[in-house]
A and B are shown apart, each in its own frame.
Chain A
């Protein structure tokens, strides 16, 4: 009897300690994993883009140009789990930047916000949908519900800079996949606008609802990488991992 009680007590204490450790992992460990994955994605994109522009001198910007540069036509063929762009949301802070990868299974979301397969790509007519974790894995979309109409979302691809302006936010059920339609909420309709849809869960730590932030493309420009231009350009130093 004494022996049984003692072993039971030890087992329960062990379970408690392991559970606490697991919570620590979710809060810090998963973020560390995601940050190192983000560093790898960033250097992969920078290398890839640098090589691509070496191979195509036409893409190299002419220094001193100040006029607006129309976006270049772009095609996306990205394997699941591979990065294809950077996303920046200035109202989340200067250092907030994540790579975007293809796919939104947990394997992808645990390292990066992902493009919802089957939805449009950056700049295209229709709906470019991106999902990311609200908590864990670096909490990429922690502040998503704070976005207000007018806030900007920048998406930087190999060739272009796309800027979207937030036009609205809503809360939907997890099975409400209509928000992913080319015309959100109207399956089958022919799209005319170029939208972005950012998705995360709400409330944090649960899977009961989704926060949906919608934006519309307001500018698309060829990405110019003259000397001294911002990070993310080929050869530019990779900024530290987002926190």
Chain B
């Protein structure tokens, strides 16, 4: 998976590493700001409301 991406990235090793890091940051940000808030509001982590 990661190897597959690595092979398709152009440039030197450093450029590839930088691109991989940038992609990881973008994915992490998307998770943090969009996916996690959504997931947290759909998981019964801290059910405070009454279910009655």
Per DSSP, chain B at the interface is loop
Check if B52 sits within 8 Å of A201, measured CB to CB. Answer: no
Stretch at the interface among A74-82, A133-141, A163-171, A218-226: A133-141
Check if B45 sits within 8 Å of A205, measured CB to CB. Answer: yes
Chain B positions 1-42 with a Cβ under 8 Å from a chain A Cβ: 1-3, 28, 31-32, 36-37, 39-41
Check if A175 sits within 8 Å of B52, measured CB to CB. Answer: yes
Check if B49 sits within 8 Å of A25, measured CB to CB. Answer: no
* Given the contacts A29-B36, A177-B50, A10 and B45 also touching, CB distance less than 8 Å: no
Check if B49 sits within 8 Å of A10, measured CB to CB. Answer: no
Stretch at the interface among A52-60, A86-94, A104-112, A233-241: A104-112
Check if A29 sits within 8 Å of B49, measured CB to CB. Answer: no
Instruction: Say how far A204's CB is from chain B's closest CB, in angstroms.
Output: 8
* Interface assignment of A18: CB less than 8 Å from any CB of chain B: yes
* Interface assignment of A33: CB less than 8 Å from any CB of chain B: yes
Instruction: Say how far B1's CB is from chain A's closest CB, in angstroms.
Output: 5
Number of A-B contacts (CB under 8 A): 82
Check if A106 sits within 8 Å of B49, measured CB to CB. Answer: yes
CA distance A131 to B28 in the complex (A): 32
Check if B47 sits within 8 Å of A174, measured CB to CB. Answer: yes
Instruction: Say how far B41's CB is from chain A's closest CB, in angstroms.
Output: 5
The listed residue (A6, A22, A116, A199) touching B36 by CB distance below 8 A is A22
Question: Looking across the interface, which residue of chain A has its beta carbon closest to that of B44?
Answer: A207
Name the B residues within 8 Å of A200 (CB-CB).
Answer: 48
The listed residue (A11, A26, A116) touching B45 by CB distance below 8 A is A26
CA distance A206 to B36 in the complex (A): 18
CA distance A224 to B44 in the complex (A): 42
The listed residue (A11, A18, A133, A176) touching B48 by CB distance below 8 A is A133
Check if A107 sits within 8 Å of B41, measured CB to CB. Answer: yes
The 6 sampled A-B contact pairs (Cβ below 8 Å) are A22-B36, A22-B39, A104-B49, A107-B41, A131-B49, A133-B46
A residues sitting closer than 8 Å to B (CB atoms) are 6-7, 10-11, 14, 18, 21-22, 25-26, 29-30, 33, 104-107, 109-110, 116, 131-136, 141, 174-177, 180, 199-201, 204-207, 210
Using A18-B31, A175-B51 as known contacts, list a sample of 20 further A-B pairs with CB atoms less than 8 Å apart, ordered by residue number in A.
A21-B32, A22-B31, A25-B31, A25-B32, A104-B48, A107-B41, A110-B37, A131-B48, A131-B49, A136-B40, A136-B45, A174-B47, A175-B50, A175-B52, A176-B52, A177-B52, A180-B50, A199-B48, A200-B48, A206-B47
